[in-house]
Amino acid sequence: MDKDIDQINPYDDAMGRITEVAERYNIDEKDIEILKHPKKILMVNFPVHTSRGLKIISGYRVQYNDALGPTKGGLRFHPHVSITEVKALAFWMTLKNALLDLPYGGAKGGITIDPRGFTQRDLEEISREYIRQIHSFIGPAKDIPAPDVYTNPKIMGWMMDEFGKIKGEHVPAVITGKPLSIGGSQARSYSTAMGGFCVLREALAKYKINPLQTKTAIQGFGNAGMNLAKIMNSNNMIVVAVSDSKGGIYDKNGLNIKSVINHKNETGSVVNFTGAKNITNNDILELNVDIVVPAALENVITQKNVQNINAKIILELANGPITRKADKMLYEKKIIVLPDILANAGGVTVSYFEWMQNLYGARWTEEEILKKLDNRMKNAFDELYDNYVSESYVDFRTAAYAYAIKKIIQAEKDRGRI
C-alpha cells in the first residue's frame, strides 16, 4: 500500500475528526483538549543478537487515555511502525473501548521490524526483550497488550511468560490473545471477524439488504480478513475476492474460502489460485461488489481512489483504512461506512472476556463467549443507529466518535481531572 498517498498522517487525521465531532455536538473545546494528547509514551531501543547478527530494535507503547480504566490495545510488528502510527492506533483503541462499554482506556504498541525476515528463535528473543524493557509500564490493572498485525498467540504466550518470570508469579491477565493452554479464551482467535460479521448482519438488516444476494471483496487475509471470509462462506455469503500482501484474486462466481486457505498454506499467498483472476490490492477495493472489507493496513481508501469505490457498504476491519477526506466523499456518495472502532471491536471485546476469565480463574465455553460478544456488538450498533444515525442523519463514524468522546470526558470529569 502506498503510505504517501495524500501525505496522510493518521494521527493528524484522527485529531481533525475529533475537532469536527466536538463542533457538531457542542462539546467544549477545553474538554476535548485532554483527548488531543496521549497520556504516556514509552520508546525503547534495545540490542538483540539475531540469526542475522546484532540488531538494534525500536519499540513503542502508547497509553493514550486511562479515564475509563487500565489501558488496553494491541501490539504490532511491522516495518512501517512509527510513533505517529502507534499514537493514532492508541487513540482509536481509547474510543473503541469506550464505545463497547469496556472498563478500559486505550493503548497500542509496536515494534518496527519485518517479522518475515527473522527466525522463530529471533522473534522469541525480540518479544521477550521488549517485555523486559517495558514490564514496569504494563500489568493487568495498568495496561494490557494483545495481538495485532503480524503478532499472534505464540508471541503473546512468550510475552506473558517473560512478564511472569520478571514478577516471580503467574500473571496471565497481563496480556490477551494467548494460546488456550495458558489462559487464552475460546473464540479469541476469530473474534475480530465475528464481531465484524455481527455488525454487518445488523447493518444489512437495517438497510433491508439480503445478505445472500451480496458479493464481498476482502483486502487482507490474516486474522481479521481470513476469518471473516470463512464466517461469511459458512453463512452462505459470497466472497468474490480476497488479497494479501502479495496481491489478490477474484472470481465473480465466488471463492471457496477453505480451498483458498489451503492454497495459501501451501504457497504462502492467495495469488495464483486456480480458476480465479489475479488482481492488485487496489483493484480489490474498486470491484463491482456490494461489500468491501479493508482488513489490512491504514490509508487504503484515499482521495485518489475514492471515486472508484462501487460498494454499498464498507466494513472496516482494519484500523484507519479510510482517510478523513475520502470518508466525506463516501458519505456524499451514500456509501455506508461501518467504522473501525465499531466493526473491529470484537477482538478487544473477547480480550476483555479473556482478562476477566484470567482474573477469576474461570473458563467460559465458546457458546457463552459468542453469545456475550453478539450482545455487545448488537448493542453498540443499535446505540449508534437508534440515537444518532437515524435521528440526525450522521454517518456511523461521527456517531461512534460522539458517543465515545462524551463518555470519556464524563469519566475525566467524574475523576475530577478536568
The three cell numbers locating residue 129: 526483550
Q: Which of 108, 215, 230, 264 is catalytic?
A: 108
What's 301's DSSP letter? B
Rounded to 5 degrees, φ, ψ at 19 are -60, -45
Query: Applying CB under 6 A, which of residues 190, 221, 273, 353 lies at the interface with ligand NAD?
Result: 221
Stretch that binds ligand NAD, among 34-42, 58-66, 291-299, 327-335 (CB under 6 A): 291-299
* Comparison of 27 and 138: residue with beta carbon closer to ligand NAD: 138
User: By the 8 A CB rule, do 301 and 328 touch?
Assistant: no
User: Residues 231 to 270: which contact ligand NAD by CB under 6 A?
Assistant: 243-245
Stretch that binds ligand NAD, among 50-58, 65-73, 289-297, 360-368 (CB under 6 A): 289-297
User: By the 8 A CB rule, do 318 and 220 touch?
Assistant: yes
Rounded to 5 degrees, φ, ψ at 215 are -125, 140
Binding of ligand NAD by 195 (CB under 6 A)? no
Binding of ligand NAD by 373 (CB under 6 A)? no
Stretch that binds ligand NAD, among 163-171, 207-215, 252-260, 314-322 (CB under 6 A): 314-322
Q: How far is the CB of 268 from ligand NAD (least distance, A)?
A: 10
Stretch that binds ligand NAD, among 21-29, 232-240, 316-324, 365-373 (CB under 6 A): 316-324
- CA angle centred on 101, ends 96 and 107, rounded to 5°: 40
What is the rounded CA–CA span in Å between residue 186 and residue 173? 15
Binding of ligand NAD by 408 (CB under 6 A)? no
What do you get for the CA distance between the two ends of the chain, in Å?
Answer: 40
What is the rounded CA–CA span in Å between residue 250 and residue 217? 8
Binding of ligand NAD by 185 (CB under 6 A)? no
Q: How far is the CB of 192 from ligand NAD (least distance, A)?
A: 4
Rounded to 5 degrees, φ, ψ at 100 are -90, 5
Binding of ligand NAD by 301 (CB under 6 A)? no
The three cell numbers locating residue 182: 495458558
Binding of ligand NAD by 344 (CB under 6 A)? yes
**Residue 108 annotated to the active site:** yes
Binding of ligand NAD by 62 (CB under 6 A)? no
Binding of ligand NAD by 35 (CB under 6 A)? no
* Rg over CA atoms, the chain: 20
The partner residues of 58 in beta bridges, in order of sequence, read 45
User: Residues 72 to 131: which contact ligand NAD by CB under 6 A?
Assistant: none
Instruction: Count other C-beta atoms under 10 Å from residue 299's C-beta.
Output: 23
Write out the DSSP string of 136-158.
Answer: GG-BTTTEEEEE-TT--HHHHHH
Query: Applying CB under 6 A, which of residues 63, 65, 192, 323 lies at the interface with ligand NAD?
Result: 192
- The residues that are catalytic are 108
Give me the residues that bind ligand NAD (CB under 6 A), please: 1, 147-150, 192, 219-225, 243-245, 281, 295-297, 317-319, 344, 347
